[in-house]
Amino acid sequence: MSEVAAEPGTAPDGQAGEQPLLRTDNLAKHFKVGNALSRGTLYAVDDMSLTIREREIVALVGESGSGKSTVARLLAKIYKPTGGEIYFQGKPLSRIRSRRNMLRYHGDVPMVFQDPFSSINPVFRVSHGIMRSMKLHRPELSAADRHAEAIKVFETVGLTPAAEVLQRFPHELSGGQRQRVGFAQALALRPKLILADEPVSMLDVSIRIGLLNLMAKLRDEAGVSILYITHDIASARYVADNVVVMYAGRIAETGPVEQVLAHPQHPYTQLLLSAVPDPRAELSVGAATDRGEPPRVFDPSPGCRFRWRCPLAIDECSRVTPELEELRPRQQVACHVARSGAEVKAFTS
């Protein structure tokens, strides 16, 4: 795949004419579930259109079951889309036919998993995985070059002394160190975009900040873009440039992270923000976050999929599926109530 003709330091807000690094158009993934007597369709991802630019961290935020990880697996070409298209550097991925081009794409867009053991073989030393990946994706490197590159990326992600860590077995590392190994394996491929699926959710709070700072470092110093998938909207605010709020397989709201979180227009975004602990608030029982039903993604009917949990739902919400609309500069919302101009304060104190 050819290099994108854009300056590496382009601002993440995206001026007109800038070609995105990756974008999706109406991406969808539906799963057939059930048996011959009772069969239906699970709409895991539906009409997903997002954009990731160079040197940008995009946070994909939502509850468990919202479809976030399915999006990552679609972008990683683990799942085949039911509909829509993925474009990388302006080229559609559906046209990739050769194994060489697919390997090149996987080298450009590696994935870091939630469980670091998913990408580290416990039988081998830590060096085995990273050396094997480079041998597959960067065959031009000699054995000595691969070792030197492994030392370099381990130092970049804070695993020192690198030569010693490379010789350890995975069980000899802490959870945070194993997750850094995952980022080192991805970085060794010289990626353009890293798909990070809940990379800090299994770690202690005390070491999460180190991984978030590492992602910011990779963006700022190595020029790597990151799709940061998380249910923690507070960490998204800390590290991301833009945020995509996802509910029941669809985008509810998207835009610059500070703008969206300071002025949330969708009731679901407000719900996520209301669930962030506030140490200054008094203890209470039965918060507004307990309201409503789980997402309905099995053969969903037309209308807003959040309407069963939304105290502001109107008649149109049950009849027409809302589309994303720019209600503030660079901030898009899929909400009939917000589009009507009414003040949306569903879960704010």
pLDDT for 346: 64
b/e map 316-331, b = 16+ CB within 10 Å: ebeeebbebeebeeeb
pLDDT at 288 > cutoff 50? no
pLDDT for 207: 83
pLDDT for 152: 96
pLDDT at 270 > cutoff 70? yes
pLDDT for 160: 93
pLDDT for 348: 58
Three-state DSSP string of the chain:
CCCCCCCCCCCCCCCCCCCCCEEEEEEEEEEEEECCCCEEEEEEEEEECCEECCCCEEEEECCCCCCHHHHHHHHCCCCCCCEEEEEECCEEHHHCCCHHHHHHHHHHCCEECCCHHHHCCCCCCHHHHHHHHHHHHCCCCCHHHHHHHHHHHHHHCCCCCHHHHHCCCHHHCCHHHHHHHHHHHHHCCCCCEEEEECCCCCCCHHHHHHHHHHHHHHHHHHCCEEEEEECCHHHHHHHCCEEEEEECCEEEEEEEHHHHHHCCCCHHHHHHHHCCCCCCCCCCCCCHHHCCCCCCCECCCCCCCCCCCCCCCCHHHHCCCCCCEEEECCEEECCHHHHCCCCCCCCCC
What's the pLDDT band for 5 if we cut at 50, 70, 90?
very low
pLDDT for 285: 46
Whether the predicted model's global pTM rises above the 0.85 cut? yes
pLDDT tens string 66-114: 999 999 999 999 999 999 999 999 999 999 889 999 999 999 999 998 8
pLDDT tens string 9-60: 334 444 445 789 999 999 999 999 888 778 899 999 999 999 999 999 999 9
Q: Tell me if 30 sits within 8 A of 42, measured CB to CB.
A: yes
216: closest CA among 185, 194, 231? 194
Average pLDDT of the segment spanning 138-150: 96
pLDDT for 279: 53
